[in-house]
Every structure is written in structure tokens, then in C-alpha cells.
Amino acid sequence: MTDLNLVYTEIEDDVRGVVRSVLTSQCRPDAVTALYDGDRALVDNLWKNIAVDLGLAGLLVPEAEGGAGASAREAAVVLEELGRFVAPVPFLTSAVVATTALLGSGSALLGRLAAGERTAALAVPLSTAAHAVLPSVAVDADNRVTGTVTSVAGALEADVLLVLAPGPEGLALYAVSAADAQLAPVVSFDMTRQLADIVFDGVTGELVVADGEAAVRRALTAGAALLASEQYGIARWCLDETVAYLKERRQFGRVVGGFQAIKHRLADLYTAVESGNAAARYAAATLAADDDVPVAAAVAQAFCSDLAVYAGEEAVQLHGGMGMTWEHPAHLYLKRAKADQIAFGTAGAHRARLAELVEVPGP
């Protein structure tokens, strides 16, 4: 196994600083909350700044194909910060999942995604795990695509939809213009990553990857591995903000954070968050090194998906009545955490998959 260093590099710290600066100025909690009232004005401008101005859409794309030639480690740092701000941008769905599906394909679309000229989404339900049965649609001899895929993340922000359909060598990946498909937005629990149902009614597609099944499974594995970094970012915000609040909030003449029971809960939360950081970092490092990825991704999702929900619940409860209000941003983090909990497979599904990968005998 490759010797993997989980310590953040200077370059990764620089990436974090730049992303955090942009999100601090442009991704305020009130603007994110407005998404639940149907105001999506924040999304396009913020994504342009992330994808084009900072050039982060091409992190996973080799320089020879128009990208930054970076690795999953840098992408993981970006996702930590996006999780910390619950940023409503399609970085995970386009710059990670869709981009990974196209790596090595030679498609011109890859360079356009890297440049931020186009945004893509993989047309599979958000809950689809890499080892699960993959949904597909029909395609005729003229590459006209017909079928329906539900609960797709990133579709509303996408210019291009990547969809599986039978090809010359089995399931192939076809690129379809989002303008030609019928998209029905779904009122989602997490409106910062709103889902959509997609209907393809004889629309023209372009064959971009002949071995589409392998490409999609690889992309979903990468998505699961790097989603853990977003979940860690959510949990870290919940911990930091809760500790800061409890240092100031006074009750019965004392700082609330000084009560022994509160200290115990914070200590447990801190330990869990630090463990989540290690699991997420390891998943990103293995993805960057292309070593032990399925195991690391399963471990990271089995732990971090529940961690983010636990941290969100503690943030709401330990903020007291304030944490229950619409004005406080804690609900944004808990909703994203709950939605992420089923993304790319549930924690239980990943534990079952892990047992298979390490050959743990069944009951």
C-alpha cells in the first residue's frame, strides 16, 4: 500500500484560504436561507466565481486536457469549505462526479467542464451507490435517448446531462443537452442541493464513453469518497459555532459551556469530528493515489454520513431556543447533513459493502 500522508500541504492550505475568503464575502447564511423561499439568485454567480474565477472546476482534470492537474486532495479541501458554508454550488456533482466519469474519454466536453464553460450532472438518483444497480434509459440507432431518471442532484445547474444507455459494448454514457430534456424540480429536504426528475423524450445524445458502466461506478466511488470531506466541513462548522456560542451564553449566572454535562457532550462531539477528519482525509488521499479507494470510501461514508447528522443535531439542541429558529443557520447544516446521509448509498449500505470488500463472513 502507498504511504499516505494525511497532513494538509501548504498548497492545500492556500486553496482553503482562497475558497474561504470568497465564501465568507459571497455566501452569507441569509442568502442561502433564501433558497427555501425560491430565490436562487446566489447560485449562478457563486458557481461562476468558484468554477471560472478561481479555476476550481478543473482540479481533477489533467493539464493536457485543459484542467489544473491537481488531485482529489485539493478537491477535498474545497469540499470541506463548501460544507462549512453549505454553499449551493454544483462542485460535487459537476467538478467531481461528472468530471470523473469523463476522465480518459478524450471527449472535448471534459475541457469545457474544466474551464467552467459548461456544467454537467450525472443522471442517476442521488442515493445511488457505486456498487448498486445503475439506472439506464433507451437509445435508438440515431442516438435518440428516451426514458426517465428521478431524484438527480445537480441537474438544475447543469448544461449537459450524462446518462447511461445501451451502447455497442454494453452500457454506454451519452451526453444530452439539458435544454432538450424535461426537468421537473423536486421540493427537496435540502434546497441547497435541489433534486430534479428528468424525462428524455427522444432527444439527441452523443456517445462520450463506450464503457459507461465502469465510468459511472468510478465516478460514484469518487463522489462517495469526497462527499465525506463535505460532511466533515459541516460537522466542523457545527462544532466550532456551538463551542463559540456556549462560551458566551449565560444561564443561572454561569457560562453555559462551564456545565459539566455540556462539556461531556462537546468532548464527545470533538472526538467524533476529529475522527471524521481522519476518515475523510484518508479517503481523499487514497483517491489521489488510486490505492485502496473502495475500502476507504466505504469507511469514510459509513462514519462521516452519520457524523454530520450527529453534529447538526447537537448544534441545534445546544443553541437552545435560538437553534430552533429559521433565522439561525443551524437548520441549513442539519438539512444538508440529512440529505447527504443517503447520498451515494446509506451508511448501512457502505458497511455491508465494506464487509464484502474485506471478506468478513456473514452470519
- 250 and 337 assigned to the same domain: yes
How many structural domains compose the chain? 3
- 288 and 227 assigned to the same domain: yes
CATH number of the domain to which 193 belongs: 2.40.110.10
- 62 and 84 assigned to the same domain: yes
Q: Alpha-carbon distance 38 to 95, whole Å? A: 25
- 187 and 319 assigned to the same domain: no
pTM: 0.96
* DSSP assignment string, 302-340: HHHHHHHHHHHHHHHHHTGGGGGSSSSTHHHHHHHHHHH
Residue 115 buriedness (CB in 10 A; 0-12 / 13-18 / 19+):
middle
Report if residue 362 sits inside a domain. Answer: no
Last residue in a domain, options 191, 211, 231? 211
Last residue in a domain, options 119, 152, 170? 119
Report if residue 36 sits inside a domain. Answer: yes
Last residue in a domain, options 88, 119, 150? 119
Residue 258: its pLDDT value, please?
A: 66
What is residue 33's three-state secondary structure?
helix
CATH number of the domain to which 229 belongs: 1.20.140.10
Name the amino acid, one letter, at 24: T
- 102 and 164 assigned to the same domain: no
- 295 and 334 assigned to the same domain: yes
- 140 and 110 assigned to the same domain: no
Is the separation of the CB atoms in 232 and 280 below 8 Å? yes
Report if residue 129 sits inside a domain. Answer: yes
- 61 and 192 assigned to the same domain: no
Domain that holds residue 147: 122-211
- 227 and 272 assigned to the same domain: yes
Q: pLDDT per position in the chain (363 positions), as tens?
A: 456 889 999 999 999 999 999 999 999 999 999 999 999 999 999 999 999 999 999 999 999 999 999 999 999 999 999 999 999 999 999 999 999 999 999 999 999 999 999 999 999 999 999 999 999 999 999 999 999 999 999 999 999 999 999 988 789 999 999 999 999 999 999 999 999 999 999 999 999 999 999 999 999 999 999 999 999 999 999 999 999 988 887 777 777 766 788 899 999 999 999 999 999 999 999 999 999 999 999 999 999 999 999 999 999 999 888 888 888 999 999 999 999 999 999 999 999 999 999 988 766
Per-residue pLDDT reduced to its tens digit, 208-238:
999 999 999 999 999 999 999 999 999 999 9
- 244 and 334 assigned to the same domain: yes
Report if residue 4 sits inside a domain. Answer: no
Q: Alpha-carbon distance 285 to 301, whole Å? A: 15
